[in-house]
Amino acid sequence: MEGPHNLQTWTGFDAIPDKDQPETTVWPEPWEGEMGAIFAMTTSVFYPEKGFNLDAARWYRETMQWRTYGNTPYFDLWLRSVSTYFSLSGLVTRADLTEGYPPPDYPQPGTSTSVAIIDKDSLDLAAQLRGQALTQAVPGFGKPQTDGRYSSPSYQEGTAVNHPLFAIGDRVETLLQIGTGHTREYPVYRGRPGVVVASYGIVAAQFTGEGPSRIRVFQPYYQPGYPDIASRASPVDGAPRQEFFVPVYSIRFEARDLWGDGYAEEGVAVYVDMFEPYLKRAAG
């Protein structure tokens, strides 16, 4: 992940406070449940054709200005992410999102009081970062073709990989990358040596039904498409929705290789699940 929510290994943050929310209360505020429903409907209705999914939603949150992100409650982040998608896709006008409207339950209709869903600067920043990302390479796939599609000699669209590149016990090095796109390779693990300790089975996801009634069938394997690609589809630039199902491994990193001998505790290791394109064989 890039952007303001990459807080791994940072110091100086207070402890996460305990929730005061009673166990019998599903949502602290009613609107949060409504936001959850809006998000679920958006990913269901607009994913098959428009490509909006959880990976895209995470990417749009990563484009937020750092101070805004840090000062925004959790479900407000969802709202801003969906709003950014609606703006980029043209499904909603920018004015609808930024100019505000009277709250429906405001006691005095017709007053000048209005509520804006998101500010123009945030939408501009998201569009700028997304445009920059679409000129950068994606691990395992390189840069997009002129029609916005991605291809790879190692992975076929919509087809699960039957022969993983690495086996348990292989020594690997992680890719050292930087960019403005969405990735699940956290910066603290980039460019580090590790060992493969598990290789997960993977199959293409299966569904039943069509349209809004389309439901994912449970399978005891890792199912989602490679997020670095799955997050990028958007009608704003005509890029089609694509899914590549790549192998996933558990990698053991020695603490000293992550933080150095002077900072790591002896004998401590960290285990991280990583997509195959983030890995290469260790030299020697």
Average pLDDT over residues 170-196: 94
Q: Based on the number of CB atoms within 10 Å of its own CB, is 56 exposed (0-12), middle (13-18) or buried (19 or more)? A: buried
Domains 1-133 and 141-284 share a fold: no
Q: Which residues pair with 207 in a beta bridge?
A: 216
User: How far lies 161's CA from each of 12, 121, 166, 247, in Å?
Assistant: 42, 42, 12, 7
pLDDT surpasses 90 at 6: no
What is the C-alpha separation between 177 and 258, in angstroms, rounded? 16
Residue 125 burial by CB count (10 A; 0-12/13-18/19+): exposed, middle or buried? Answer: middle
- Whole-prediction pTM: 0.83
Range with the poorest average pLDDT among 14-18, 70-74, 150-154, 176-180: 14-18
The whole-number pLDDT of residue 20 equals 66
| Helix or strand (DSSP H, E) at 254 | strand 248-254
Tens-place pLDDT, residues 139-155: 999 998 888 889 999 99
Token pair, residue 101, equals 């409207």
Query: Length of the chain in residues, anyone?
Result: 284
Read off the tokens for 116. Answer: 């804006």
Instruction: Tell whether the model's pLDDT for residue 112 goes beyond 60.
Output: no
More confident residue, 213 or 50: 213
* Torsion sign (Cα): 206, 208, 213, 219: negative
- What's the pLDDT score for residue 162? 78
CATH number of 141-284: 2.30.30.50
The class that CATH gives domain 1-133 is: mainly alpha
Helices (H), 93-244: 94-98, 120-133, 227-230
**Mean pLDDT score, 230-256:** 83
Of the chain, the percentage scoring pLDDT greater than 70 comes to 81
The pLDDT of 163-177, averaged and rounded, is: 94
Helix 120-133 crosses helix 74-89 at what angle (to 10 degrees)? Answer: 70
The values of phi and psi at residue 80, to 5°, are -65, -35
Please state, rounded to an integer, the average pLDDT across all residues of the chain.
84
pLDDT band at 138 (very low <50, low <70, confident <90, very high): very high
Residues 60, 3: contact at Cβ < 8 Å? no
**pLDDT tens profile 47-72:** 666 678 889 899 999 999 888 888 88
Please compute the mean of the pLDDT values over residues 12-25 and round it to a whole number.
65
Identity of residue 98? T
Q: Of the ranges 26-30, 92-96, 189-193, 197-201, which is most confident? A: 189-193
Res. 160 pLDDT band, cuts 50 70 90: confident
Query: 77 pLDDT exceeds 70?
Result: yes
**Is residue 13 very low, low, confident or very high in pLDDT (cuts 50, 70, 90)?**
low
- pLDDT value, residue 277: 96
CB atoms within 10 A of CB 157: 15
Give the domain ranges of the chain.
1-133, 141-284
